[in-house]
Amino acid sequence: MNAFDLRPTMTSAPRARLGVEALWPLCLAIVRHRRGMGPLPAAEATQPFTRHPANGFTLDEPAWDEEAVELFALLKPVLDRPPDGRTWVIGQLGQSLDGCIATRGGDSNFVNGPELLLHLHRLRALCDAVIVGAGTAAIDNPQLTTRRVAGEHPMRVLIDPSLRLAPTLRVLSDRQAPTLLVCDASRESEAAQRVGPEQVLGVPGLMKNDGGPPDLRALLPVLQARGLRVLFVEGGGITVSRFVAQGCIDRLHLSVAPVLIGSGRPGLSLPGTAAMRDCPRPPARVFRMGADVLWDLDLRPAP
Ligand SMILES: NC(=O)c1ccc[n+]([C@@H]2O[C@H](COP(=O)([O-])OP(=O)(O)OC[C@H]3O[C@@H](n4cnc5c(N)ncnc54)[C@H](OP(=O)(O)O)[C@@H]3O)[C@@H](O)[C@H]2O)c1
């Protein structure tokens, strides 16, 4: 073009940045690869990302919008699990400002906003199994599926050492996805008569004879032997607290909603220490989720 050429120049319009709808299929493809069910997707113009041997997956940020970058940052610890690594556990609790996860009678519909519900379904889709305690199974009668997002349902795992759960509960009868009821190996045949042998996972050493809580460290290798390595402990408070107290949680999502429940069911309840200086202060990140605030705690920081 010479200096006197007054024709408008052809400037290319800025390309629209990619959003969550382009990110989510990439997340699912990464998980399928981890499960040995497909190749790692190649980075493309429609899904630009990088995989670094030490730092795992990163998005090629200028191509993605803010919402996608934020969601990827939140999910990255789950996505970075190596295909053949050890068991890795993420827990979650949605709680009120005063630390409750449900009313005293057990109503928890809904402590948090819809963004958190979507987040739970995303975590279910990215993990091999979703685990809940018997109290949650009995009170909520949940389905534990991924019906709010695309993605496979996880294995549904119920921890019910005292075999109090009714076989008519949805997770044990709807056949939408496989379910395992966890009990001590000594009660396996009793459990099999209640819910069918294919739905029972008897764990040697789960219950000691001291009347104490289940030994969750005994559960993890048994799940791993079934190919269930990336585990999501969804609740309730007693179960998540037991996992944390026994050192079985790598990452914890605590989502705080601006609501006061007052003398409800407690969230995290840990043994505690006498001096403030001895209280753990895990590395933490904060994410806004609608009106709620999600604390992402790294309970097993790299040495
Ligand atoms: N806000 C959230 O993020 C969230 C998430 C999940 C659940 N919840 C709510 O949390 C509550 C349940 O949590 P939780 O801490 O109480 O328990 P939990 O961790 O779900 O389950 C463990 C406890 O449930 C007891 N349990 C066993 N069978 C039961 C039955 N048939 N009925 C009632 N309890 C039974 C167990 O007693 P034994 O050891 O004697 O068997 C054990 O103490 C529910 O109200 C649920 O709606 C909230």
Task: Please say if the pLDDT value at position 13 is more than 80.
Answer: no
Separation of 238 CA from ligand 1 center, angstroms? 7
- State whether 67 and 111 are in the same domain: no
- State whether 128 and 43 are in the same domain: no
Residues 52-96 pLDDT 10s: 988 999 999 999 999 999 999 999 999 999 888 889 999 999 999
Separation of 135 CA from ligand 1 center, angstroms? 2
Q: How far is CA 104 from CA 86, 100, 139, 262, 285, in A?
A: 37, 9, 12, 9, 30
Among the listed residues 51, 84, 64, the one whose alpha carbon sits nearest the alpha carbon of residue 24: 64
pLDDT at 292: 98
Element (H, E) at 116: helix 114-126
pLDDT at 233: 99
Residue 143 lies inside a defined structural domain of this protein: yes
Separation of 21 CA from ligand 1 center, angstroms? 35
Residue 242 lies inside a defined structural domain of this protein: yes
Which of 56, 84, 112 terminates a domain? The answer is 84
User: pLDDT band at 1, cuts 50/70/90?
Assistant: very low
Mean per-residue pLDDT of the chain: 94
User: pLDDT band at 43, cuts 50/70/90?
Assistant: confident
pLDDT at 85: 81
Task: Please say if the pLDDT value at position 41 is more than 80.
Answer: yes
Separation of 158 CA from ligand 1 center, angstroms? 11
Separation of 18 CA from ligand 1 center, angstroms? 40
Separation of 137 CA from ligand 1 center, angstroms? 7
User: 141: Cβ below 6 Å to ligand 1?
Assistant: no
pLDDT > 90: percent of the chain: 86
Q: Quick check: 237 and 267 in contact, CB under 8 A?
A: yes
| Strands of 97-199, DSSP E | 100-102, 129-133, 155-159, 179-184
- State whether 80 and 93 are in the same domain: no
What's 18's DSSP letter? B
- State whether 102 and 179 are in the same domain: yes
Q: Which of 136, 156, 171, 239 has most ligand 1 atoms within 8 Å of its beta carbon, as the pocket-test mutant?
A: 136
Three-state DSSP state, 95: strand
Q: Which residue range is the domain that position 41 belongs to?
A: 17-84
User: 99: Cβ below 6 Å to ligand 1?
Assistant: no
Which of 59, 84, 109 terminates a domain? The answer is 84
The ligand 1 atom at the shortest distance from the C-alpha of residue 266 is: 15
Task: Please say if the pLDDT value at position 303 is more than 80.
Answer: no
Residues 154-212 pLDDT 10s: 999 999 999 999 999 999 999 999 999 999 999 999 999 999 999 999 999 999 988 89
User: pLDDT band at 120, cuts 50/70/90?
Assistant: very high
Q: Quick check: 156 and 179 in contact, CB under 8 A?
A: yes
pLDDT at 12: 59
Q: How many domains does the chain have?
A: 2
Which of 84, 100, 124 terminates a domain? The answer is 84
Q: Which residue has the higher pLDDT, 40 or 242?
A: 242
Residue 146 lies inside a defined structural domain of this protein: yes
Residues 226-267 pLDDT 10s: 999 999 999 999 999 999 999 999 999 999 999 999 999 999
CATH value at residue 257: 3.40.430.10
Task: Please say if the pLDDT value at position 133 is more than 90.
Answer: yes
The ligand 1 atom at the shortest distance from the C-alpha of residue 103 is: 45
The ligand 1 atom at the shortest distance from the C-alpha of residue 112 is: 1
User: pLDDT band at 293, cuts 50/70/90?
Assistant: very high
Q: Count CB atoms within 10 A of the CB of residue 194.
A: 17
Q: How far apart are the first and last CA of the chain?
A: 60
Separation of 188 CA from ligand 1 center, angstroms? 21
Q: What is the residue with the minimal CA distance to atom 40 of ligand 1? A: 162
The ligand 1 atom at the shortest distance from the C-alpha of residue 109 is: 47
Residue 4 lies inside a defined structural domain of this protein: no
Query: What is the average per-residue pLDDT within 4-16?
Result: 56
Residues 87-119 pLDDT 10s: 999 999 999 999 999 999 999 999 999 999 999
